[in-house]
């Protein structure tokens, strides 16, 4: 959630703080796949590129390759 948005990740982490989620602002300001867990957090937090475009393309290909019922 919020792969490309620091403010979205910050708000999500605040909403999940009761579960032990915490995001370190310094780590969160980085780029690429990375861990952004705040010191003392009970739950590890990561930023990972989702590549939804590849998943959508794979699903479209699967639908289009299905043969039409006769």
**Token representation of residue 16:** 């999940």
Give the pLDDT score at 23. Answer: 94
Give the pLDDT score at 67. Answer: 55
The residue range of the domain holding 23 is: 6-64
Question: Does residue 20 form part of some domain?
Answer: yes
Question: Does residue 50 form part of some domain?
Answer: yes
Global model pTM greater than 0.85: no
Question: Does residue 58 form part of some domain?
Answer: yes
Instruction: Report d(CA 18, CA 15) in Å as an integer.
Output: 7
Instruction: Report d(CA 22, CA 52) in Å as an integer.
Output: 25
Q: From first to last of the 70 residues of the chain, give the pLDDT tens digit.
A: 677 788 888 999 999 999 999 999 999 988 889 999 999 999 999 998 888 888 899 888 888 988 554 4
Give the pLDDT score at 70. Answer: 47
Total domains present in the chain: 1
Question: Does residue 41 form part of some domain?
Answer: yes
Instruction: Report d(CA 26, CA 18) in Å as an integer.
Output: 21
Question: Does residue 26 form part of some domain?
Answer: yes
């Amino acid at each position: 959630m919020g792969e490309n948005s620091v403010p979205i990740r910050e708000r999500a982490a605040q909403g999940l703080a009761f579960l032990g989620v915490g995001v370190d602002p310094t780590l969160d300001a980085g780029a690429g796949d990375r861990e952004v867990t705040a010191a003392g957090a009970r739950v590890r937090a990561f930023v990972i590129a989702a590549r939804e475009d590849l998943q959508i393309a794979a699903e479209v290909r699967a639908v289009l390759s299905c043969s039409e019922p006769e």
